[in-house]
Amino acid sequence: MKVAGQSVPRVDGPAKVTGRARYALDLTVPGMTHGAVARSDRAHARILSVDTGEAEAVNGVLEVITGASLAPLDLRFGHVVRDHPALAVDRVLYHGEPVALVVAETRRAAERAARLVSVDYEDLPAVMDADEALGEGAPVLHPERIERTKDEGLDQGGEALVGNLCAAADFGWGDVDAALAAADLVLEGEYRYPMLYGYAMEPYNAIASFEEGSLVVYSTAQHPYMVREDLARIFALPLARVRVVVPYVGGGYGSKSYTKVEPLAALGAYVTGRPVRVALSVEESILTTRSDGARVRARSAFAADGTLLARDFDVVMDSGAYTDNSPVVCAKLANRCFGPYRIGAVRVRVRSAFTNTVPASSLRGFGAPQGNLAGELQMDDAADRLGIDALALRLKNVVRPGEEILPGKRGIDADLPADLDLLTTSLGWPNAPEGRGIGFGISASDAGAHPTSVAMVRLHADGSASAAVGATELGQGSRTVLSQILAEQLGLPMEKVAIVAADTGVTPYERTTGASRTTALVGRSLMAACADAKRRVAELAGEGAEFADAIKAFFGAGGEIIGVGAVRRHGEFRKMPPFWEIGCSGVVAAVDAETGRVRVEQLSTVGDVGFAINPALVHGQDLGAATMGLGAALSEQLVYDGQTLANPNVVDYRVPRCSDIPERLDQILAQRQDGIGPYGAKGAGEGTLNPVGAAVAAAVGRIVGRYPRELPLTPERVWRLAQTEDARV
């Protein structure tokens, strides 16, 4: 291979270092107006009336739009359940929910007017805690349940979705109770993982306009084709007349999955007939989407020799006011919580609860970090109690290549014992430096999502080639990696290939840019498209002909040859998941005994990616994801004070800063070409994050003598833990 496997420079690098890369926020369209959102200051209330008079009187205001003013349009969106109104209609379900949209000639006028929208509410009882929401007598957020769309093939449990139960997953195998009764050691504990905010630095924004009977939207969406479906339904347009264009995106990490502000901008354009931009602030973005916090009750049963006999997980997720993507997170949390181990008996019950809080949806890791915290800490705790080394305990139980961890699913396409060896060697396990603790862990995520991906390759008369794909460039480097695959397949230099991406009016269908899928699945559809194009060249001009010659021979002058390729759930992609994304990460940490402050001094990761088409980009994903894990481990958490968020800003919600980065970083690549993607590649981008929370907690536990059970490990929490007299729980 010539180009694949090389750390070629990013194709978007020059545009990004010069400030010329265009993000949705940088675009303007002629005649553009500005939308600003008036938001609920109640957690749960009935809207009695909305007075827009003062707002309408502000100079420059064109329209003040409320949910009630838009009947008969059905404003609700959602790819699993269409329950999320773009503007509240008769009730608000959380503090910060959009109630009205002001459209004005300037952003300043729109924002000033939005503050003058006056709403008369009748307060209703609110429920702020997920366990309480599922209990008797809690106020019910969605008394009239809307049927699920048939979109996602979810693994559902048998529980009826009533009360505040948003989603449930319930499965298992073996006799868990008998295993618990017969075990030499049973560990039981309750663990808590915080609700997080992705803080993609470009806040949610979109520009919408209606042009010649089509709705055109520029947006920050990770999944433009999903947004297209929501918009088509709201405005009763055919998919062919909704065009969602996604230029460069200033960070995604899952937080820009699915529909956010696009319906608001489109409603503004629908009512005013003018193009409308809706650009949220960071605080408003926090009020738009967060991740699901989780309370995890876990039991693990072991034999004296360390054999993991049974696991029993009972999880409640705090999923906020609307369904959004929480049912999928729920299903994934269930699949990922018990770990890549051989376990004779498993029982998993995950319940996602509606609460009167900001709606929760996807975030990097997607259920995995929440469950992994409990699962991996119990492995460490069991090792201590059984007098077995924590690495040896994992090696004894971890699955071997090809083994299933979920009955009927694809076997593990990775070598986990080898990954654990690489990791623990890097960390110097078990010999921690004086006063330090080592923590490490492993995870396996059923990644790739539903495998639907279409690519189109165009061979041009001058011997160059371009490909149109629907994958969005979020910073992960998709345009670079796909350029490499295109160049490799056609035998062209990088200078002669180009990727055109993410415009539903131009590029072919791509289900999502998430679940670490782009390299593997879009890559394979692109390879199929290249093969199709080459087949056409051979048909026109014979085997081995240059495609430029074939184009000239067929058309005379100009012209092009087009190849298409698709990946669908068929053939080698039939068995789910398309691939497993492995997490294998560890830390060396220190604790300041006086303050409880945790300092992570070393971070090691193993990227089990099958084949690194661009090693520098894989390193970037592995370090970036693990750093987000450090944020959740040490400082990040959204905190509710009563019915309002206490810290909806980047000062009080503290993400990792430059000085937080460990002095020693070791990003190891494991390349065994055992993936379904091009050249044996698998996905990267989430795996290294998933075990970091448990790893930091284990390192801290080994220093202070007691394993923490709740993140983030703030100085106060660690200091209190260190003061506790109890022996290990």
Contacts with other proteins, residue ranges (CB under 8 A)? 7, 9-10, 12-23, 25-26, 108, 198-203, 248-253, 281-282, 474-477, 616-617, 619-620, 623-624, 626-628, 649-651, 655-659, 661, 665
Of 279 and 444, CB closest to other proteins: 279
Instruction: Give which of 270, 263, 264, 344 is closest to 300, Cα–Cα.
Output: 344
160: amino acid identity, one letter = A
Of 167 and 584, CB closest to other proteins: 584
Q: Are 329 and 364 contacting, i.e. CB atoms less than 8 angstroms apart?
A: no
Shortest spacing between CB 696 and other proteins, in angstroms: 15
SS3 content of the chain, % helix, strand, coil (to 5): 30, 25, 45
Of 202 and 230, CB closest to other proteins: 202
Question: Which residue in this structure is represented by tokens 């945790």?
Answer: 598
Shortest spacing between CB 248 and other proteins, in angstroms: 6
Instruction: Give which of 190, 195, 407, 406 is closest to 315, Cα–Cα.
Output: 190
Shortest spacing between CB 257 and other proteins, in angstroms: 15
Shortest spacing between CB 427 and other proteins, in angstroms: 18
Parallel, antiparallel or unpaired: strands 118-123 and 45-51: antiparallel
Of 185 and 616, CB closest to other proteins: 616
Of 113 and 454, CB closest to other proteins: 113
Shortest spacing between CB 205 and other proteins, in angstroms: 10
Q: Are 198 and 255 contacting, i.e. CB atoms less than 8 angstroms apart?
A: yes
- Show Cβ contacts of residue 143 under 8 Å, excluding neighbours closer than 6 positions: none
**How far lies 348's CA from each of 220, 625, 669, in Å?**
35, 27, 32
- Where are any strands of DSSP class E within 461-612? 465-469, 497-501, 560-567, 579-591, 598-608
Shortest spacing between CB 604 and other proteins, in angstroms: 13
26: amino acid identity, one letter = D
Longest CA–CA span in the chain (Å) reads 86
Packing angle of the helix pair 615-634, 692-704 (nearest 10 deg)? 50
Of 353 and 522, CB closest to other proteins: 522
Shortest spacing between CB 10 and other proteins, in angstroms: 7
**How far lies 608's CA from each of 82, 338, 420, 460, in Å?**
37, 20, 11, 37
Shortest spacing between CB 206 and other proteins, in angstroms: 15
End-to-end CA distance of the chain: 54
Of 356 and 361, CB closest to other proteins: 361
Of 659 and 723, CB closest to other proteins: 659
> Whole-angstrom Cα distance, residue 270 to residue 276?
9
Kindly give the residue spans of alpha helices, DSSP state H, lying in 160-223: 176-182
347: amino acid identity, one letter = R
Helix (H), strand (E) counts: the chain:
18, 29
Of 239 and 650, CB closest to other proteins: 650
Please give the structure tokens belonging to residue 571.
């053939």
Question: Which residue in this structure is represented by tokens 């009016």?
Answer: 505
Shortest spacing between CB 475 and other proteins, in angstroms: 3
Cβ neighbours of 602 (radius 10 Å): 20
Of 163 and 683, CB closest to other proteins: 683
Shortest spacing between CB 9 and other proteins, in angstroms: 6
> Whole-angstrom Cα distance, residue 417 to residue 450?
28
Shortest spacing between CB 207 and other proteins, in angstroms: 14
Of 247 and 563, CB closest to other proteins: 247
